[in-house]
Each structure stands twice: as C-alpha cells, then as structure tokens.
Structure 1
C-alpha cells in the first residue's frame, strides 16, 4: 500500500515552509538579498540547511517566493484601495500600516484623484515604515530570477496609477494626457524619492509627523505630475497637517485637521 502523508504532516510542512519565508523576508529587509543566504535563513528559522532544501530546491527559488509574497501583498493593498470607493480594504493607511492585524479602514471617496492620493500616500507610508523591504522590492541588486518578478511588480503599480489617471481624464478631473506615460513617471519618481540611488534614504523618517511631511510632499508631487493643483485638492503645505487616512477625503481649500481637532479649531 503506497504511503500517503497525513493531514498533520502536511500541516507541519506548510508551517515550516512559512517559517522559512518569514525568516528570509526579515533577513532581506535587514540586509538585502545577499543577506538571505540559505545558511542564514536556516539559522534565523531555527532549522537545518537540509530542511531549507526540502522546501526550496535552490536559493533562487526561495528568494523568488519571498519577493513574490511581499510584492503581491503590497500591490494587492494598493489595488484594493484604488479600485473601490466605499468598501473596507485591509490595512489602514497609517504610518504603522505594516503592523500585523492592522485595522481595516474605508477607502477614499469615488473621485479618482482622491483615490490616487490615497494610493500614493499608502505606498509612501509603507515604504517609509519598512525601508529595507521597500529597497529590496524596488531597486536592490538581486537574483536574475527576481528581476523578472520586480518588473511585473512595478508594472502592477503603474497599471493601478494608469487606471486612476484614465478615470480622472474621462471624468474631467484631470487634463488630457497619456495615462500610461503619467503612471510610469509616477512609479519611477516615487520610488526614486523613497529608495532610489540618489534618494534621501538616510534622511527620511520612518514614522510620526516627519514621515507625514514626506507623505504630503510625495502626494503633492504626484498631483502636480498628473496636472492636479495640490492647493485645490486640499494639500496646500506640508506643514498644514497629515494626509488624511483612507476614508477621510480632503475638501478643496480646506486643510484636514489633526485627529481630534475640528477644521479651523485652535485646540
């Protein structure tokens, strides 16, 4: 009678594989792709090197899975926020949006430019919160097999931005333009600011008010890139306050008040 693995064995193998992926992801975030050697991943997961090869035939297969898993999570969050107008989306667009179990929050209103604002703000906040992982996903030297995945990852961001720009043009919210060109420019510019070779990486904060200042600047840059006036969209100055979290849409000419304070209030 042929041997058949039990459900308990399958569960243990799946848990071990997941532990390896989590360990490898943390190593990549801390030390880049070069830091995620099979030996280092095995040690971080408290497993043997042989166990790693039991689940992944090569380091290349492991890092591709790490990239694919992390990239899919980021692209799915952005796509969900950009594609819906009122439904809840996973992970609130707040500085600690990478925290496990982060609360759900409603997406921005139906206006495509408002949704573009929220998508750019979420992209920026998450990149600031986990700088090492963002660098690994967007620009860090890596295995050739990862480069093909990275190209697809950047295309997914570009396609989300392009769809929103196209909607904005059709709705009359944005001037006539080629959505794909604008989206490619946005994807490249945001990545350059946050993790590119001439970015301000060492100077950029990870959270708090200083991170919100960067978020506001990146959002304003994105709006100018697609032909929307930041002041008219409610983002007159980085010092005026944080970009609203998902579900709190800016009113033209009115700066969103900090949490707990009414617009125009003095505290």
Structure 2
C-alpha cells in the first residue's frame, strides 16, 4: 500500500522546512551567505544534512529562498513608509532614503549580504528582482514629483536608477563587514547627506533673492574728483 502523507505529517514537514529556513537566515544575518553551509544550517536547525536535502533541492535554491524572504520583508517596510497619502514627493523620497539607509546601517551584515556580497546565480537572480522592485517604487515617486512640479522634468526610469545608485554607493563603505560600526550620529549624518544629495539632483534650483537697488557689488561708492589727492 503506497504511503500517503497525513495532515500531521505535512504539518511536521512544513514546520521542519520553516525551521531550516530560519536557521539559514540567522546564519546569513550574522556572517553572510558564505557562512550558510548545509552543515551549518543543519546544525543550527537541529537536523541532519540529509534532512536539509529532503526539503530543498540544493543549497543554492535554499539560499535563494532565504534572500527572497529577507528582501521581501525589507521591501514591504519601505513600501509602507513611502505609501502615497498625499504628502509631497520630496517627503516620500526622503522617507525612502531614511528607512532604506537607516535599516541598512542598523543591520549592516544582512544589508551587505542583500546588496553587495558575491552570491551564486540563483541568489543573484533574486537580487535583480529586488533591485527592480526598488527602482519601480522610486520611479513612481519621481513621476509623482514631476507631475506636481516638485522635481525637474527628466527620464523617470533613469532618475530612479541614479537615485538608487547614489544610495548604494554612498552606503557601501559603511556596510563593509570589516568596517567598524558607525555611531548613531554618524548614521544620521550619512542618511541626511544622501537625502540632500538626491533632492538637489531632482529639484529645481532655488532662485537667488533679488538684490535691492543700491546694494549690489557695483554700487560701492566711487571717490569724487575732489576726494583724490593731487600733487604733493
């Protein structure tokens, strides 16, 4: 008689699979994808190596699922922070940078793994999807700002990609695993600096205030002829 899984055995299998995923994600958060070997995942999940392979076809696919789970959570947090509730697009973009940058600096090891760590092709494919999702969110904010006259007219997709590139490149040095953790004030300064840079790139320049008559650089008092010394 062929074996047929029961509701209980299916639940036990799902629970074990979830436990292995949690174990792998904890390893990645602590030391990156390279630390999440099958043996380490099995040990942390209190399972055998064979059990890992009974739930996942390969380590690469397991880590791709870990990436998808962690990235989806971060993406959901940012989506909530920048939801369009009628506020200015400049505020929404500032919130995106604040939440994305702030969370990356607070969870530096996981952020490095999600953004920069060399990974296998299966994980890299998930990373590309992750980046596209952020580009779409940013592009929607840029388009909204253009429609309201807050942002300069330009290619929205290119502008969104440039903003995300600026954020990533500004953070990379701070997120390196060998770099010392930044102090809270340094984190705030970094995020604020990125925000100012991106807003300056997107918003029209503020016109200089008009110069009142008689106060310009060319209005300095010129000496009259009688003020000049003539002869000894």
Distance 2:5 2:19 in 1: 20
Q: Partner of 1:83: helix, strand, or coil?
A: coil
Q: Which has the larger radius of gyration?
A: 2
Q: Give, in angstroms, the shift of residue 227 of structure 1.
A: 2.4
Q: 1:166 to 1:138 in 2, by over 3 A?
A: same
Query: SS in structure 1 opposite 2:103?
Result: helix
Residue correspondence of structure 1 range 60-139 to structure 2 within 5 A: 60-85=60-85, 110-139=87-116
Q: Which residue of 2 aligns with 1:152?
A: 129
Please state how far the C-alpha of 1:204 moved relative to its aligned partner. Answer: 5.1
Aligned to 2:210: none
RMSD of aligned Cα (Å): 2.0
Segment of structure 1 superposing worse, 145-154 or 27-36? 27-36
Say if 2:166 and 2:194, in contact at 8 Å, map to a contact too.
Answer: no
Q: Which residue of 2 aligns with 1:214?
A: 190
TM-aligned CA deviation for residue 65 of structure 1 = 0.4
- The 5-angstrom pairing of residues 1-267 of structure 1 reads 3-85=3-85, 110-195=87-172, 199-201=173-175, 202-203=179-180, 205=182, 208-227=184-203
Which structure shows the higher helix fraction?
2
The Cα of 1:158 is off from its aligned counterpart by 1.0
Q: When the two structures are superposed, what TM-score results if normalisation uses the length of structure 2?
A: 0.80
CA distance in 1: counterparts of 2:54 and 2:81, whole angstroms: 37
* Contact 2:115 2:127 (C-alpha < 8 Å) held by counterparts: yes
* Residue segments in structure 1 that go unaligned for 5+ positions in a row: 86-108, 231-267
Number of matched pairs? 203
Going from structure 1 to structure 2, the CA distance change for 1:29 and 1:228 (only over 3 Å counts) comes to farther
Compare 60-69 and 76-85 and name the one that shifted more: 76-85
Q: Unpaired runs of 5+ in structure 2?
A: 207-232
Q: Residues of 2 paired with 1:2 and 1:170: CA distance?
A: 64
Query: Which sits farther off after the overlay, 70-79 or 138-147?
Result: 70-79
CA gap 1:43/1:229 in 2 versus in 1, 3 angstroms? farther
Q: CA deviation at 1:17?
A: 1.3
Aligned counterparts of 2:89 and 2:158: Cα–Cα separation in 1: 17
Following superposition, the deviation at residue 173 of structure 1 comes to 1.1
Question: What displacement does 1:62 show?
Answer: 0.4
Q: CA deviation at 1:225?
A: 2.7
Instruction: State the TM-score, normalized to the length of structure 1.
Output: 0.70
Structure 1 stretch 53-62 or stretch 9-18: which is displaced more?
A: 9-18
On the 8 A contact 2:27/2:36 being kept in 1, the answer is: yes
Distance 2:84 2:147 in 1: 17
